[in-house]
Amino acid sequence: MFSTIDRSIVYEVGTDITENDINIVSDLWTMEDRQVYRGARDPNYTHANVYWLYDPDSLDRVGLSEHKLDDPSDVALLWYKENPFNTLLQEDGWVEGESFWSKVPSHVYEQCLAEGWTTPAAVAERCLRGSTRVVTVDTLIAKPKVYSCAKCKTKSFTKSACSTESTLDFPEKEKVWFIDERMVVYTPPAGSSVWSITQPQSPSDPSSQPEVQTVPVQPVESVDESPHSSPPETHPQ
């Protein structure tokens, strides 16, 4: 769950009682019509005063209250929701759909299976060769670095000697697939804030290919010849 105060802070989602809250005695609180126990201030966070909230019956952690440091009465309540995207963005309306595998052509499915590309990370890496992107909540939390080499025609999440580093680019909305760890595809609600994360700065130009423009010139580390001798070629797509 993204903090509402500092977007660089992402709260982990776990249902167990935090170490900090074991043996804490809490009153029963009503917050947004939900009854909860509230833990002690979580000392792991200093950007806000953060208190985890617990279901009174199961004692599962169900959310948190986030209080501004300079105005403790300014509170945001964040709840675990029914799917990871609803929870991360604190949005309702993300719809769980079919499996990714049932939506791709059968030859793609068979190739992925044969190559062992069965996890979100492996499929995301394979997608780097084209313009489709599979996006998990982890992708949204921290856009991964992409290492590319135009001459070797490689693009990977793993660094190699001749690669240049860039940040993962995103294509137009239609080519972005939001998936969970089980490869289930989710559809965002209209007006979702996710597009502020996954769209290029100039959404008016969906044909732009940011990865071409943002790959920096290879820093000169020596005056040696490049390890490549092949002539320039078009960018692999």
Residues that bind Zn ion (CB under 5 A): 149, 151-152, 162
In the chain, alpha helices (H): 84-89, 100-103, 106-115, 120-127, 137-141, 195-198, 210-214
Contacts of 237 (CB under 8 A, 6+ apart): 129, 130, 131
In the complex, what is the shortest distance from the CB of residue 152 to Zn ion, in angstroms, rounded to a whole number? 3
In the complex, what is the shortest distance from the CB of residue 151 to Zn ion, in angstroms, rounded to a whole number? 5
Which amino acid makes up residue 21? D
Q: Which one, 25 or 217, has the nearer CB to Zn ion?
A: 217
Q: Which one, 136 or 163, has the nearer CB to Zn ion?
A: 163
Q: Which one, 123 or 149, has the nearer CB to Zn ion?
A: 149
Burial profile 187-226: b = 16 or more Cβ within 10 angstroms, e = fewer = ebeeebebeebbebeeeeeeebebbeeebeeeeeeeeeee
In the complex, what is the shortest distance from the CB of residue 228 to Zn ion, in angstroms, rounded to a whole number? 6
Q: Which one, 88 or 146, has the nearer CB to Zn ion?
A: 146
In the complex, what is the shortest distance from the CB of residue 189 to Zn ion, in angstroms, rounded to a whole number? 41
In the complex, what is the shortest distance from the CB of residue 160 to Zn ion, in angstroms, rounded to a whole number? 7
d(CA 26, CA 28): 6
| Cβ pair 100, 186 in contact under 8 A | no
In 105-200, alpha helices (H): 106-115, 120-127, 137-141, 195-198
CA distances from 16 to 54, 78, 165 (A): 9, 16, 38
Q: Which one, 13 or 162, has the nearer CB to Zn ion?
A: 162
In the complex, what is the shortest distance from the CB of residue 156 to Zn ion, in angstroms, rounded to a whole number? 11
Q: Which one, 37 or 147, has the nearer CB to Zn ion?
A: 147
d(CA 133, CA 177): 6
